[in-house]
Structure 1
Amino acid sequence: MASGHLVWVGFIDGLLPVVGSVKEAVEWVLAVAADKKALADEKLKVINGRLGQKGKYDKSSRSSSGYASDSSTSSSSSTSRFSSGQAAMDVASVPDTNLKDFIIEVGKGKVRPPTGGPPVRSKTDQKKMQDTRETTLRKILRINQNFQLNDPLADDGKRSRRGEHVINNGVISFYHKVVDDFMKATHIPNTLGVESPLDNDTRVAIQNDLIAHFDEDELYINANALIYGEYSRVLKQALTNWLAAETQEVVGDVNRFVQAMNEEEAYVDWLARDKYIGNQNARRVRVETTRGQVVNMFTNWQQYFQAAKTGINTIFGQGQ
C-alpha cells in the first residue's frame, strides 16, 4: 500500500485492531467477531457487489462462527475465535503513515478514535460500566420500584474542569430548598431563615476538598447524579408532606427514605471516592468523617426541621 493512503481501523474487545483498505471488509470482520450474522451477511453483499465477484465467497472456507472468510482483509476471520463476542462496530479512517502510533495510543486508551466517540475501553472497564449500571438501578429501585434506567450510563469521555465531588454538593442546600420550595408553593415569602445543619468545615470539605479529577483515558460515569437526584426527589416530597401535615404515616415514610439514603450512601460518588482516596489512609478518614456528618444531618431530620415547621404553623395561624 502506498504511503499516505487512508485505511480503516476497528477494534475487537477494544484491544485487537482490524485494519483494511475497504471499510465494509473491516466492518464484516467486526460483525463476525461479534457473532452478528445478519450484519455480517449485509457487509459481505456490499463487498461482493463492489468487487464484481458475487458468489465468490459462497465456495470459500468458513470461519468458526460459520461465516465466509476472505484473505483480502488485513485481519483474519480467525479473530472471532479469540473474541468474547464484543466488537465495536464503529471504524475510523486513519492515514497509514500514522497507523502504528494510532493503534498503540488507542490500545493504551490515551486517545479516542477520530470518529468523535468516547475512548476505546478495555474489557475491565466495560465490566465496570456494567456493574455501575446494575448498582445504580439496584439503589434506585429500593425507593422507586417503577424507575426505569433510560440513561445508558456510559463514559462519554467528557471531563469537568472543577472535578467530581466525592459527596454530592446538593446535600449542603437540601434542607433550605425543601422549605423554600414549600413556601414558594404557598406564594408566601420564605422568612424562616433555614440554614444547612452541616458545620462550616464539613461544607468546605464537600465543596472544595473532596474532589477527584479524572483524565480522559480514565473511566468515569456520573451515576451518582442520577442516584442522588432520585433519592433527593423522593425524600423532598416526603418532607414536604410532613411540613404540610405531620402524621404517623408521613413520619414513617421520611424515616424509611432517610434510612435508605444513608445505607445506600446515595450522596456518595463511589468512583470519585475511590479515585480521591487512592491508597492514602488520611484521605479515607477525611471522607468517612465528612460522610458521618451527612449521615447525622439526614438521620436527625425531625430535629432540624422542627424549627421550620413551627415557623410555618405560626405563619398559617396554626401555632401549637
Structure 2
Amino acid sequence: MEDMAAGNHCKVTEFFLAGLSEKSELQLPLFLLFIGFYVFTVVGNLAMITLIGLSSHLHTPMYYFLSSLSFIDFCQSTVVTPKMLVNFITEKNLISYPACMTQLCCFLIFGVAECYTLAAMAYDRYVAICNPLLYNATMSYQIYTSLIFGVYIFGVFCALVHTGFMIKIQFCKLDVINHYFCDLLPLLKLACSNTYINEMLILFFGTLNICVPMLTIITSYIFIIASILRIRSTEGRSKAFSTCSSHILAVSIFFGSLAFMYLQPSSVSSMDQGKVSSVFYTIVVPMLNPLIYSLRNKDVSVALKKIFERKIFM
C-alpha cells in the first residue's frame, strides 16, 4: 500500500478475491468440479470453431455467428476461471490492481459481445425462416461481417467507459473483493470516493445491453413462431422449431443468470447469491453452448461425421 498525500485514503495496489466459498471442506471438490468445467469449455468451444472452419457446408452466416459465439465463450471463461481455480488451492488469492482492472475490462468486452451476438443470431434465424428468398441479400458477407465486428467494437466501447471511470475511484484499505473475479458491483462496494457516475453507467449500459438484445430476440421469435405455425406440414414445423429451440435455450440460461445478478437489490446477501448466478453466466453457459448447438443440430453432426470419415480413410 502506498500512502497518498491527501486525506486518509491510500492507493490500493492489490486486492484479495474472497472466492466462491470460504468453507475449507468444499475447496477440493469445487476445484475438481470447475477445472472439469473449464477443460470441457475450452475443448468444446475450440472444437466448434475448428469444425466450422474445416467444414465448407457450414460456411454460412448462422455458423459464422456460432463460431464467433464459441470464441467469446472461450475468452470469457479464460478471463475468469483460471483465477477462480487459484482461490480453491491457495489461502489468499491475490490480484494486483492493474490485473484486476484488465480482468474487469476483458470480462465486460466479452459479456457485452455475447449479449449482441445472441441478438444477431436471433435476427439471422428470423430472416432465414420469415424471408428465405431474401436471405442471401439480407445476410450478405458485408452485412454479417459488419454485425460481428460491430458487436466487438461496442463491447470494447462499453468496457473502456466502465473501466475508465472505475480507475478514477479511490479504494479504501478494506481490499477484499467479495467475489471470485473483479466485477463492477463488488468493486464499487470497496469505494471511498463518490460512485454516483459509476452506478448511473451500470444502470444505463445494463439496461441498454440487456433490453436491446432481449427486445430484438423476443420480436424475432414472435415473427418466427407466427411463420412456423403457418407451415402446413408437421415435419416442416418440427424442423423449423428444432433449429430455433437450441438458440432459445442458450438465450434463456444466459439472460436469466445475467438478470439475476444485475437486477437485484445491492446488499451483502444478494452479493453472495450473485456469486452463484454469475457462475452460470461466466462458467456454465460458455460450457453448455457448444453442447446445446452440437447435439441439437444435424448439420454439425453431419460435419463431424465427415471429418472423422476423412481422417479414417486418409
One fold, TM greater than 0.5? no
Which is greater in Rg? 1
Q: Which has the higher helix share?
A: 2
Q: TM-score, normalised by structure 2?
A: 0.27
